[in-house]
A and B are shown apart, each in its own frame.
Chain A
């Protein structure tokens, strides 16, 4: 089983619908992140969390919200999806320390019609 698991892997929805992307990890890391990938723009940080009680906005948090339900679970919600939120979304985890690397899930492809 993957260390970082994202569900769903693919989702097609309509404008205005509420969508939740879920992420769970078995690496025991405190730090979790949500990124969005768009062609030509690389990865952009949406939200990040350093522990269950710590939630921080990233570069592009507008239109998104998150919930850290447990150390191992970090969910991303789109309250009212719009077409320009069509993208590939990645969850990642990291251990503490400046040399800690990110461990990524396989991604959730979201299409908003």
Chain B
């Protein structure tokens, strides 16, 4: 079946530090992969996505590359800011785009 496993949190970083949040997946066929972000008190919103192998999604300085050989979609940012403090969810949609599967979320706190 389809599933997503992501790095346990919480993660605390100093401003301008490098961020990596690991995400691996299990899926049949060719899923699409997503990172969603949830700011305090808000719903989830799409951060970036990739729809096929070797695609790189990017947005707001965040990047993730769809690696089929390692079934991974790790989230990275070179220099985090206090405003990046949020919960980050890795997700996949099945090949037909019918269902979405989420990881457990990783809480990030960035301190000045």
B49 A101 Cβ-Cβ under 8 A = yes
Chain B residues whose C-beta falls within 8 Å of the C-beta of A44 in the assembled complex: 102
**How far, in angstroms, from A4 to B44 measured CA to CA in the complex?**
12
A interface: dominant SS: strand
> In the complex, A106 Cα to B44 Cα: how many Å?
8
B-binding segment of A13-21, A35-43, A61-69, A71-79? A35-43
The size class of the interface chain B forms with chain A is: 20 to 34
Partner of B34 from A92, A101, A105 at Cβ < 8 Å: A101
Q: What distance in Å separates the Cβ of B82 from its nearest Cβ neighbour in chain A?
A: 22
Question: How many contacts between A and B, using CB within 8 angstroms?
Answer: 58
Q: How far is the CA of A100 from the CA of B96 in the complex (A)?
A: 10
User: Closest A-chain residue to B103, C-beta based?
Assistant: A42
Q: Which of A33, A100, A101, A104 contacts B43 (CB 8 A)?
A: A104
Question: Which A residues are closer than 8 A to B by beta carbons?
Answer: 4, 33, 35, 40-45, 48, 50, 90, 92, 94, 96-102, 104-107
Give the A-binding residues of B (Cβ under 8 A): 30-32, 34, 36, 41-46, 49, 51, 89, 91, 93-100, 102-105
